[in-house]
Structure 1
Amino acid sequence: MTSRLARLWQPGNPQRRVFLPDFWMAVVESPSVGRNRLPRNCVKFEVDPRMSRHDIREYLTKIYDLPVRDVRTEVQMGDITWNSKLDHQYKKAMWKDEDKKIAYVFMSKGFEFSYPQMFEALEEDLELVKAMKQQEELKDKLNERYANRNRRVGQFLGA
């Protein structure tokens, strides 16, 4: 699908070909731990709302030569802004953001995807991580005195 105007075809002219569609796709970072994590061979994309599963599969296999096994899509509703509680009660929305279409693309078994690191870590972030490590070490040292001491439990029970 393309938004370009098609020229009138005349006999003898070459067939009209579209090399790049007007669709767009963006890789979305998914959590690596927790309930919402994805398998290693699954990639999460935000895609153009007009794209179907077949369009997504063809886009990735023909343009990027990726080994697509399965495509699943989901439409996420945009946020609704209400002016007051009565508007929410009577369903009179002041504003609604556009819906998003999310595609979960499963690749072949040997394929592993990791989200690319686009920017270097900031110095403030590195200092924060260093401070957190120091706090953990101090906590462990303070707990050593109390966690492993001999409490003489048997004396109080008469054993």
Structure 2
Amino acid sequence: MLSRVSNGFRMWMPNMPMIMTSATNATAKEPARAIFRVLPRMTKHEIKEYLTKIYGLPVQKVNTMNYMGKRKIVRGSTKVLYFKYRDYKKAVVTFDKSFTDVGLGMSIPEIDDEPADEI
């Protein structure tokens, strides 16, 4: 009897959004850092592996902080509604000393060098 499950090659495709909220370039005393907003279920190890394997970034360490979503009250003319924003986790990623530029600038040479055409 054959099973329906194939024992072939399996690939894990991550579906974890990481939103960079801020970043600082490296200085003489401080290494480069970036702050990400991630899902609460992500661990430090998963964040480090995600940035290292997918983007090839030299991550030195990851610090995380859990935040509860804010609670809000909306007062209408007849009802009072309560709702809560989603919980999130903030990850502070410290990069290796060799990584100096986080890439904050948005300058693309092909676009910046072209003159603007007037119609």
Asked if 2 retains the 8 angstrom alpha-carbon contact of 1:73 and 1:103, the reply is yes
Q: CA, structure 1 residues 28+52, in 2 after alignment: closer, same or farther (shift >3 Å)?
A: same
Instruction: Determine what percentage of the aligned residue pairs are the same residue.
Output: 35
**d(CA) in 2 for partners of 1:113, 1:82:** 42
Partner in structure 2 of residue 88 of structure 1: none
Partner in structure 1 of residue 83 of structure 2: 95
Asked if 2 retains the 8 angstrom alpha-carbon contact of 1:41 and 1:110, the reply is no
Q: How far off is 1:43 after superposition?
A: 1.0
Unaligned runs of 5+ in 2: 76-80, 108-119
| CA root-mean-square deviation | 2.8
Unaligned runs of 5+ in 1: 1-7, 33-38, 85-92, 120-159
**Which residue type is aligned with residue 58 of structure 1?**
E
- TM-score normalised to structure 1 length: 0.50
**d(CA) in 2 for partners of 1:98, 1:42:** 25
User: Are 2:22 and 1:29 equivalent residues in the alignment?
Assistant: yes
- TM-score normalised to structure 2 length: 0.64
Instruction: Between the two structures, name the one with larger relative contact order (CA 8 Å, sep ≥ 6).
Output: 2
User: Are 2:2 and 1:9 equivalent residues in the alignment?
Assistant: no
User: Are 2:54 and 1:66 equivalent residues in the alignment?
Assistant: no
Q: How far off is 1:50 after superposition?
A: 2.1
Partner in structure 1 of residue 67 of structure 2: 76
Q: CA, structure 1 residues 26+94, in 2 after alignment: closer, same or farther (shift >3 Å)?
A: same
Partner in structure 1 of residue 95 of structure 2: 107
- Structure having the higher helix fraction is 1
- Residue correspondences, number: 96
Q: CA, structure 1 residues 31+69, in 2 after alignment: closer, same or farther (shift >3 Å)?
A: closer
> Alignment partner of 1:94: what SS?
strand
Asked if 1 retains the 8 angstrom alpha-carbon contact of 2:58 and 2:96, the reply is yes
- Structure having the higher strand fraction is 2
**Which residue type is aligned with residue 84 of structure 2?**
K
Task: Note the alpha carbon deviations across 1:95-149, whole angstroms, 9 max, x for none.
Answer: 2211121111111122224452449xxxxxxxxxxxxxxxxxxxxxxxxxxxxxx
